[in-house]
């Protein structure tokens, strides 16, 4: 691609990473457009309102604006992606597909982009019959390889964190931090705590994506973009507990089970079995052609900063009252009176608090 200003579309780019990326690209002087389901305004960024899952909407905007680059943050099932891949690839000079480093199988050495994927080597027929996230992303990568075109780039982020997203194993902050701040027990498990993981600040991943935009050498290639560091989940847990205790003056209560309770729930178990049970360390040599990942925010420093930022004005999204009921059943606790605002959530909480679910 030439060095002229690029017209770039972020499809579904209103999440934490997309917001970072749109600002980075705008600051670099690119012409940035973002699809959104609701009306938005942003300095220097054009928002196009509509449902990006609808092919008619997508086709209309691609024909109208003639984008140079499309960065796709959408979550598709495999058949949905197959139905639109020709439109995506034929409409732009570079199509950037957000896959995931969850596609990789277990590895005893730092993972490279050529490391085996679960889809290619995992033998469990029950799992392979699903379109679980890691499998669907790998199958969609394969669709790109079979497309007959080479104007795509695959990006494989791993677990990212930000001022609004802080994970603990498979738990979003609504299922561990919300409980801690409301005086109830965090439920975690030793089987995950002992495993190593890699957590990367979302802004750094966005910088990595920006680094390959417009680069012809990145076409037809896959890249993971992660921190060079790895830490055990136990280290991350202790960091969270220390930071929360410093803020509220009381150390959060913790119940450390031997095994993750999600292993008992159909569907929910796979994220544990084929990801969190693996030690995840990455070799970033390939993306370092474009960006120096050693300059990414240090993991512990970044997590503390983001957690402290959130704690200064904690605003939770959907706290998942059904799952809160599941964990309260395990810890023999109850929500406080008036904490749940709707009758529907009350019923959902009580059903899960009294009856353990077979599914998530």
Give CA angle at 207 (25, 137), nearest 5°: 100
The encoded tokens of residue 33 equal 């457009």
- Which burial class, exposed, middle or buried, applies to 192 when counting CB atoms under 10 A from its CB (0-12, 13-18, 19+)? buried
Q: In the prediction, which pLDDT does 2 show? A: 55
The distance in angstroms from the start CA to the end CA of the chain is 46
- Which burial class, exposed, middle or buried, applies to 258 when counting CB atoms under 10 A from its CB (0-12, 13-18, 19+)? exposed
13 pLDDT higher than 90: no
Per the structure, the complete domain to which residue 85 belongs is given by 7-317
Return the H-helix or E-strand segment holding 161: strand 159-161
**Closest of 267, 263, 265, 239 to residue 252, by C-alpha:** 239
Q: What is the DSSP string of 53-122?
A: T-HHHHHHHHHHH--SEEEE-----HHHHHHHHHHHHHS-SEEEEE--GGGB---SS-B-TTSPBHHHH-
Residues with Cβ within 8 Å of 222's Cβ and at least 6 positions away in sequence, in order, are 99, 113, 141, 153, 154, 155, 156
Q: Is residue 354 part of a domain?
A: no
Mean pLDDT, residues 332-337: 92
Q: Is residue 360 part of a domain?
A: no
Q: What is the pLDDT of residues 19-29, one digit of tens each?
A: 999 999 999 99
Q: What confidence category does residue 109 fall into, taking pLDDT thresholds of 50, 70 and 90?
A: very high
Looking up tokens 């049970």, which residue turns up?
A: 277
Looking up tokens 């209560």, which residue turns up?
A: 253
**Number of neighbouring beta carbons within 10 Å of residue 97:** 25
Residues 95 and 37 sit within 8 Å (Cβ to Cβ)? no
Q: How many CA atoms lie within 13 A of 22 on its CB side?
A: 25
- Which burial class, exposed, middle or buried, applies to 225 when counting CB atoms under 10 A from its CB (0-12, 13-18, 19+)? buried
Q: Is residue 131 part of a domain?
A: yes
Would you say the pTM of this structure is higher than 0.75?
Answer: yes
4 pLDDT higher than 90: no
Q: In the prediction, which pLDDT does 14 show? A: 84
Mean pLDDT, residues 39-60: 90
Q: In the prediction, which pLDDT does 266 show? A: 76
Q: In the prediction, which pLDDT does 15 show? A: 84
C-alpha 84/C-alpha 104 separation (Å) is 25
Q: What is the pLDDT of residues 227-286, one digit of tens each?
A: 999 999 999 999 999 999 999 999 999 999 999 999 988 788 999 999 999 999 999 999
Q: Is residue 349 part of a domain?
A: no
**Closest of 10, 2, 4 to residue 61, by C-alpha:** 10
Q: What is the pLDDT of residues 208-217, one digit of tens each?
A: 999 999 999 9
The encoded tokens of residue 173 equal 């902050």
How large a percentage of the chain has pLDDT more than 90?
A: 90
**Number of neighbouring beta carbons within 10 Å of residue 16:** 17
Mean pLDDT, residues 301-316: 97
42 pLDDT higher than 80: no
328 pLDDT higher than 90: yes
Q: In the prediction, which pLDDT does 6 show? A: 97
Mean pLDDT estimate for the chain = 95
Q: What is the pLDDT of residues 56-82, one digit of tens each?
A: 999 999 999 999 999 999 999 999 999
Mean pLDDT, residues 166-193: 98
Q: Is residue 68 part of a domain?
A: yes
The encoded tokens of residue 137 equal 């992303």
C-alpha 204/C-alpha 16 separation (Å) is 12
Residues 218 and 153 sit within 8 Å (Cβ to Cβ)? yes
CATH code for the domain of 236: 3.40.50.720
Number of domains in the chain: 1
The encoded tokens of residue 276 equal 């969190």
Would residue 235 be called left, alpha or beta, if left means φ above 0 and alpha means ψ between -120 and 50 degrees?
alpha
- Which burial class, exposed, middle or buried, applies to 5 when counting CB atoms under 10 A from its CB (0-12, 13-18, 19+)? exposed
Q: In the prediction, which pLDDT does 3 show? A: 65
Q: Is residue 239 part of a domain?
A: yes
Q: What confidence category does residue 360 fall into, taking pLDDT thresholds of 50, 70 and 90?
A: very low
Q: Is residue 308 part of a domain?
A: yes
Residues 203 and 19 sit within 8 Å (Cβ to Cβ)? no
């Amino acid at each position: 691609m030439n060095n002229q200003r690029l017209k770039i579309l972020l499809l579904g780019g209103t999440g934490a990473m997309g917001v970072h990326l749109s600002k980075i690209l705008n600051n670099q002087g690119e012409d940035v457009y973002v699809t959104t389901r609701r009306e938005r305004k942003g300095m220097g960024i054009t928002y196009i309102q509509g449902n990006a899952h609808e092919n008619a909407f997508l086709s209309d905007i691609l024909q109208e604006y003639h984008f140079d680059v499309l960065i796709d943050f959408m979550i598709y099932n495999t058949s949905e992606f197959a139905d639109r891949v020709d439109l995506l690839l034929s409409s732009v000079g570079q199509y950037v597909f957000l896959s995931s480093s969850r596609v990789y199988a277990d590895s005893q050495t730092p993972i490279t982009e050529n490391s085996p994927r679960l889809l290619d080597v995992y033998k469990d027929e029950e799992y392979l019959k699903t379109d679980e996230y890691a499998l669907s992303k790998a199958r969609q990568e394969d669709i790109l390889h079979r497309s007959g075109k080479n104007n795509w780039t695959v990006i494989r982020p791993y677990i990212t964190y930000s001022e609004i997203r802080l994970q603990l194993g498979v738990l979003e902050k609504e299922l561990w931090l919300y409980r801690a701040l409301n005086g109830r027990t965090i439920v975690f498990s030793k089987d995950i705590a002992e495993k190593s993981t890699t957590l990367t600040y979302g802004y750094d991943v966005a910088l990595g994506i920006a680094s390959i935009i417009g680069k012809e050498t990145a076409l037809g290639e896959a890249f993971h973009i992660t921190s060079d560091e790895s830490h055990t989940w136990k280290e991350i847990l202790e960091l969270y507990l220390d930071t929360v205790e410093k803020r509220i003056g009381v150390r959060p209560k913790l119940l450390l089970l031997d095994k993750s309770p999600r292993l008992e729930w159909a569907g929910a178990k796979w994220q544990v079995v084929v990801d969190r049970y693996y030690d995840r360390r990455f070799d970033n040599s390939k993306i370092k052609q474009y960006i120096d990942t050693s300059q990414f925010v240090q993991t512990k420093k970044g997590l503390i900063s983001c957690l402290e930022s959130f704690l200064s004005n904690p605003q939770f999204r959907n706290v998942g009252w059904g799952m809160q009921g599941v964990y309260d059943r395990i810890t023999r606790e109850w929500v406080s009176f008036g904490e749940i605002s709707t009758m529907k959530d009350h019923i959902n909480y009580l059903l899960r608090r009294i009856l353990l679910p077979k599914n998530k």
